[in-house]
Copies of this chain bind each other. A is one copy, B any other.
Amino acid sequence: MDSYIERINSFIKNLDKETLLALSNISSERKFKKGDLLLSENEICRKSYLILHGIARKYYLNDGKEVTTELYFENDLAVSFESYTLQQSSKEYIEALTDITVSITFYEAFQEAKIKYPKLLALDLMFAEYYGMWLENRLFQFHTMSATDRYLDLIKKSPHIVQFVPLTIIASYLGISLETLSRIRAKI
């Protein structure tokens, strides 16, 4: 499943020049400061953000508490999936955890480009498929693994996460309390 990202990247690299140009024509670079919100609740997610540099996260509020749903690093694509897909108001926030640089593509422009360049449609499908597999894997973890095992799996597969992301956020990403995470770490 991990190699699917490589397949996507090689698909992008091998796009014809025309399609690549069309894609770059509807994308633009921008910087955000640590703490900035790229998307807020109740906004419609009209842009996708390709993280070029830095770290970001997606979260929602549940009973006033932040629940982190995804952490973004270099080359990750950040969107609030449901809000973006349905162009409806978002339940989620996207926040810069460090100063970041992103490549922004507008939903509307991408939709139009997909009609003209079917390869972009295929690319969109690949992104959706990758996200689906990623979600399935995450669901598997919640369905079958203990808090400790989820943490161990995280540091095994993504050791960089623990280096750069506060434990408070990691705990919420893993669906456990900060205190439990602290105790898990103490035991290892």
Contacts and interface: CB of A to CB of B under 8 A. Distances in A.
Interface of A: 1, 4, 62, 67, 69, 81-82, 85-86, 118, 121-122, 124-125, 128-129, 131-133, 135-136, 138-139, 142-144, 175
Given A118-B121, A121-B121, A86 B135 contact: no
Given A82-B1, A143-B142, A143-B175, A128 B132 contact: yes
A94 to B, nearest CB: 15
Contacts of A138: 139
Contacts of A122: 121
Nearest to A131: B132
Contact of A144 (B62, B129, B135, B139): B62
Contacts of A121: 118, 121-122, 125
Given A118-B118, A121-B121, A128-B128, A82 B136 contact: yes
A82 B2 CA distance: 11
A133 B118 CA distance: 23
Contact of A86 (B1, B62, B175): B1
A163 B57 CA distance: 40
B85 A129 contact: yes
Top 7 closest A-B pairs, CB basis?
Answer: A142-B142, A128-B128, A135-B135, A125-B125, A118-B118, A62-B144, A85-B129
A58 to B, nearest CB: 11
A133 B81 contact: yes
